[in-house]
Copies of this chain bind each other. A is one copy, B any other.
């Protein structure tokens, strides 16, 4: 349906006319996230300021049966924020207050539209630490992180967004405002709706406020960028680090093509960038401890075939290394059309996964570039189109992706570790989950959202 002027007027009454966008050129930026090839214009963009406004919008949308797509930073990689069926796009950009850094309880209370890096920086002023760090942390928002259960590099030591969400205010699809949890470490008072909403990709409820657990800020950190001549050596070293008893904050892996793309994109050189593959290990904690630990891990890497160990001790060197890592996704996209996957397997299967991917590279004559969170078994697999003819690419990719996912599932893995299913992976969900399970998820969706108006068409079709 198209939205009639009555609905538009009502939205204006709720959020103020200045916060309702209708012109095509103002709608365009809200038509896509960072997922290649997926976009759809909304009919209208609304920018609410409060849960009460959102509640009114949802009641109106229910009455009129209009789809509502919530949008946080728009940095998603599975199309979760794309308004696929048009309707109302709800942007959290005006809900960007860090309401409280509670030092007594080590908790932050933030609105849905707070940029993750802003929270991290604000917490640091009080000697506190918000660990989740998706690569897009300078532009992604908390509500999106909650929707996707965002991970990031530090998930190896610190876990994912779920581990930090302790309370929430949410608006249910029919407009009720409810509060879940609190500044509480433990809670088993009824079903954990909160843990169900985390990772539900904005399909079950609209998160308006989040209470997040903070940790003491680590005293110091050191980054080790370790080049290898073979993927096997790099992966084996990563596995040995995991088993060493020392727990780094991150164990990242980057193949040469990823580093090279990032170098070109940023126009900055990365140390040893000709090596086949790098692992990037960050240690954090007490200065005296991490100084001991990095010596041990450096030795371990050299014994296992590392070409060298580049130690980034000061902030400038560290920022340079992480800038290179975080730019990879953008850099690869700027170089070629890509297909981007986000698979996760048990750690022990990582060497096999890489072997299988190399076989697929040969079979399909397409370059496959991997990087990601090797310590978590979570690998971002990028297939580069490069010069392949468009028609052939479109024919081949679904087959290749299916093969990748079949391998991953056979190896005990899942098809998304931290980016979600959204629109992009919806067709493949039955490869990972059986129909009884998907049917149950659909019944849960309907229990929350009987008219299927909240972010419809994501994860599965009802």
Q: How many Å from the CB of A97 to the closest CB on chain B?
A: 19
Question: A420 contacts B182, CB within 8 Å?
Answer: no
Question: B188 contacts A199, CB within 8 Å?
Answer: yes
The answer to whether A19 has its CB under 8 Å from any CB of chain B is: no
With A196-B195, A440-B447 as known contacts, state yes or no: A347 contacts B105, CB within 8 Å.
Answer: yes
| A368-B459 Cα distance, complex, nearest whole Å | 50
Question: A163 contacts B160, CB within 8 Å?
Answer: no
* Cβ–Cβ < 8 Å partners of A427 in chain B: none
The answer to whether A388 has its CB under 8 Å from any CB of chain B is: no
List residues of A (163-198) whose CB comes within 8 Å of B's CBs: 163, 172, 176, 178-193, 195-196, 198
> Interface with B: A31-39, A393-401, A409-417, which one?
A409-417
Question: A190 contacts B441, CB within 8 Å?
Answer: yes
Question: B347 contacts A104, CB within 8 Å?
Answer: yes
Q: How many Å from the CB of A104 to the closest CB on chain B?
A: 4
The answer to whether A376 has its CB under 8 Å from any CB of chain B is: yes
List residues of A (137-157) whose CB comes within 8 Å of B's CBs: 148-149, 151, 155-156
The answer to whether A71 has its CB under 8 Å from any CB of chain B is: no
* Cβ–Cβ < 8 Å partners of A162 in chain B: 192, 195
* Cβ–Cβ < 8 Å partners of A172 in chain B: 436, 440
The answer to whether A5 has its CB under 8 Å from any CB of chain B is: no
Q: How many Å from the CB of A246 to the closest CB on chain B?
A: 9
Q: How many copies does the complex hold?
A: 2
List residues of A (328-377) whose CB comes within 8 Å of B's CBs: 344-348, 373, 376-377
The answer to whether A438 has its CB under 8 Å from any CB of chain B is: yes
Question: B193 contacts A441, CB within 8 Å?
Answer: yes
| A102-B349 Cα distance, complex, nearest whole Å | 13
List residues of A (221-262) whose CB comes within 8 Å of B's CBs: 239, 242-243, 245, 247
* Cβ–Cβ < 8 Å partners of A441 in chain B: 190-191, 193
| A200-B191 Cα distance, complex, nearest whole Å | 5
Q: How many Å from the CB of A327 to the closest CB on chain B?
A: 22
The answer to whether A448 has its CB under 8 Å from any CB of chain B is: yes
* Cβ–Cβ < 8 Å partners of A376 in chain B: 185-186
Give a binary string over A412-440; 1 marks a CB under 8 Å from any B CB, 0 the rest: 11111111110000000100111011101
| A103-B412 Cα distance, complex, nearest whole Å | 16
Question: B184 contacts A436, CB within 8 Å?
Answer: no
Question: A345 contacts B412, CB within 8 Å?
Answer: no
The answer to whether A266 has its CB under 8 Å from any CB of chain B is: no
With A440-B447, A447-B443 as known contacts, state yes or no: A429 contacts B189, CB within 8 Å.
Answer: yes
With A190-B459, A347-B104, A441-B190 as known contacts, state yes or no: A184 contacts B377, CB within 8 Å.
Answer: yes
Interface pairs (30), CB distance under 8 Å:
A103-B243, A105-B346, A107-B346, A149-B186, A149-B192, A151-B186, A162-B195, A178-B434, A182-B412, A183-B412, A184-B344, A184-B345, A184-B414, A186-B376, A186-B417, A186-B418, A188-B199, A189-B421, A189-B429, A191-B199, A191-B441, A191-B459, A192-B196, A193-B437, A193-B440, A195-B198, A196-B196, A289-B289, A440-B448, A446-B447
